[in-house]
Each structure stands twice: as structure tokens, then as C-alpha cells.
Amino acid sequence: MPNPPSAADTKLSISGIAKRYGPTAALEPTTLDVRRGEFLTLLGPSGSGKTTLLMMIAGLVEPSAGRILLEGEDITERPAYRRDIGLVFQNYALFPHLTVAENIAFPLEMRHMPRPEMTRAVTEALELVRLPHLGQRYPRELSGGQQQRVAFARAIVFKPALVLMDEPLGALDKKLREELKLELRKLHRELGATIVYVTHDQDEAMLLSDRICLMANARVAQVDAPTDLYNRPRSRFAAEFIGESNIAHGVLEQSDETWRVALDGGPRLACAAPTARPAGPVSVLIRPERIRLAKAGPGFPAEVETVLDLGGIRRFALRTPGGLGFDVVELGSATAGLAVGDQVRCEVAAADVVPLNEGAPS
């Protein structure tokens, strides 16, 4: 697990922030620090509390409890227009009667920036989002992707302390989303801005983020770097929400420094050391691509029940003699000869058998 940021490295500090609507909790008390220059994504299903948290940071929703500090200053009760925060929404929120350049200049006009400085800042922002030739067009004359670039330029033109983005790619088609994801990643690196980004798309979060704050049931489930969240999820919810998963049940055992799990209806496997649980009943995660198949050799036995050939990828459904099922994804041609009914050996490294804490936050 990454070390928490020091006070000097912390751009945004959220302490015990919560929101209730009568008896309903939109967000349970939440504590979270965002590092300076970090791209942190709030990821989770609908109703997990991610947008509520973002809107409280922005000052558009009043918290029921807790404090929000930006650059060490308490902004909990500060109005939204005085928070030095740039906002990008899914629906662009551009002024239809203003040109692209005028839309981008709007936050600078509200800050009474001198006209020569404003012109220079707008030109730089248009160059940054690769739209230098469209400054005199109106939003209706732009594509969806171009409008979203303008919205991003408007959010960063005044060099805010923090940029918040609420599902900014959600209204775009798949091809355009893929293109803008790569552009966002490049822009973040060029600017060094601190960005808090909301999405329910796990692929988006994995590609863009320095860290992901995974949320469920109005609580934080886990905060980690994308690779750590994928490889070492701490709960069944995290394991199933991020990527594909085989979840098996068994009994966790320890002998000296070695941990093993005896799977119900399956083999006894060496496993990774658990993060926060003693020996006893357990669920474990094994990613489908981490199981290696062969017709003979080490590993546990299984029978091939189905085969799907997807070009460079082959997907298998396997069943052990004890009735335990596994999905396996294989790349390349190592398994080209396997067919339904074949007996195989399955090998998986101890580091890829990950004990889980049960459930999601509740």
C-alpha cells in the first residue's frame, strides 16, 4: 500500500466529510488526501457516493459533517466561486452565445484579468488543447470532442489549485473516448495539475490515474495505485469490480512464514500473505490470465469444459475433479492444441493467489 502523502505533498485534505439527506446517507464519513500534481480517480458504481464527494469539494453541495482543506486552507464553508477550483462536466456547460475564445476567457474576466494577459492566456489554452484555429467558432459549430476540449481549456486557463472532472467523457462515442483518454493523460503530464476525476468506467480509471479511490455503498473501499488495486484488492468487491476474477473459497493456513489455502473442491495452493486476516475460512482471488495451462507437468488437474478462440486470445472454462470451476485467459499459441474434454495441468504462482476480506463497505 502506498505511503500517505506528507503535509507538504498534500494538495487536498478531506477529513470526515459526510452527506445525509434525512435518513439516507449519500456519503458516510470519509477521509482522503490528494497529493500535489496527482491524478486521482473516484471510481465506483452508481450510488457509491463519488459524485456527491466531488460536488462537496467543488462547493456545490453542502456537507453534513467534516472539513475540506485546499493548500492547507479550510474551504468547507467557502462559496464555490472563491475556491480556486476548475470544473469540467459531462455536458460541457459551454455558453452557446459566446465564441470558443470567449468561453475560455470567461473565468479570467470574472477575475478582472487585464486584456493583454487574458488574450495571451486564452491563446496558450487553445494551443494546449490543440484547437488554436477554432477560437472564433461557436459551441454549436464544434464536435462533441472539440466542445469537451474547450471545457477543459476553460477549467485550466486561470491555473486553478485543483481541477475537478465529473465523467467528462461519458457523453462521447467509444472511439472518441479512447482518443480523449490519451489526450487527458498527456495534458495532465504537461500541466502537472492536481486532478480529481469521477468515472464508473474501470478502464478509464486504470489508464488515467496515479491512484484510484474505489467507492461502494457511500464509503471508500480501497485507495491504491491502479496496478496495486488490480493485483492486491483487499475485498471481494474490489476484486470483482476491477477486471475479471476467479473467486474461490477455502481455508487459509500458515506454517512458519508460508501461507497456503485449501480450496473447497480444489487443490491446496501456496498463496500471498493476507493483509488483515488470520488463518481460517477465506475467499481468494485468482485472475484468469495468471493461470498457466499445460497438458502435463506441475500444477493441479482440471478438465476443459469450453474453449473460445478470439484470435490472439483463447478463453477456457475448466473444472477440477472436486467440482471447482475456473476461467482462464491465455495469450499466444501455447494452448492451441487444447480442446473440450482434454485433461490439463494448471499452475499459478503463490503471489497470484490473493486472500480477500469479504464483501464491500456497508
Task: Note the pLDDT tens digit of each residue in 99-130.
Answer: 999 999 999 999 999 999 999 999 999 999 98
Q: Domain range for residue 245?
A: 236-356
Convert the pLDDT of each residue in 302-350 to its tens digit. Answer: 999 999 988 778 899 999 999 999 999 987 666 777 899 999 999 999 9
- On whether both 225 and 241 belong to a single domain, the answer is no
Domain end point (choices 231, 253, 283): 231
For 126-142, write each residue's pLDDT tens digit.
999 989 999 999 999 99
- Indicate the number of domains in the chain: 2
- Give CA–CA dist 10/7, Å, rounded: 5
Same-domain check for residues 244 and 224: no
Average pLDDT, the chain: 91
The β-bridge relationship of strands 313-319 and 280-286 is unpaired
3-state secondary structure of 225: coil
**Stronger pLDDT, 7 or 303, i.e. the higher one:** 303
b/e map of 321-357 (b: 16 or more CB within 10 Å)? eeebebbbbbeeeebeebeeebebebebeeebbbbbb
Q: Please tell me the pTM assigned to this model.
A: 0.89
Tell whether 268 and 312 lie within a shared domain: yes
Spatial separation of the C-alpha atoms in residues 124 and 132, rounded to whole Å: 8
DSSP-assigned states of every residue in 145-188? HHHHHHHHHHHHTT--SEEEEESTTTTS-HHHHHHHHHHHHHHH
In this structure, are residues 166 and 195 in contact, taking their beta carbons and an 8 Å threshold? no
Identity of residue 191:
L
Report in angstroms the alpha-carbon separations of 147 from 125, 172, 360. 14, 11, 37
Paired with 213 in beta bridges are: 42, 223
> Can you tell me whether residue 52 is helix, strand or coil?
helix
355 in Cβ contact with 282 (< 8 Å):
yes
Cα 1 to chain centroid, rounded: 16
Q: Of 207, 231, 255, which marks where a domain is finished? A: 231
Q: Is the domain of 166 the same as that of 191?
A: yes
In the predicted model, is pLDDT for residue 89 greater than 50? yes
Shared domain check, 321 and 186:
no
Considering 231, 250, 276, which residue would you say is the last residue of a domain?
231
Give, in order, the Cα–Cα distances in Å from 124 to each of 33, 153, 156, 168, 194: 31, 9, 11, 22, 19
138 in the same domain as 246: no
State whether 328 and 344 are in the same domain: yes
Residues 87 and 184 placed together within one structural domain of the fold: yes
Question: Are residues 155 and 88 in contact, defined by beta-carbon separation less than 8 angstroms?
Answer: yes
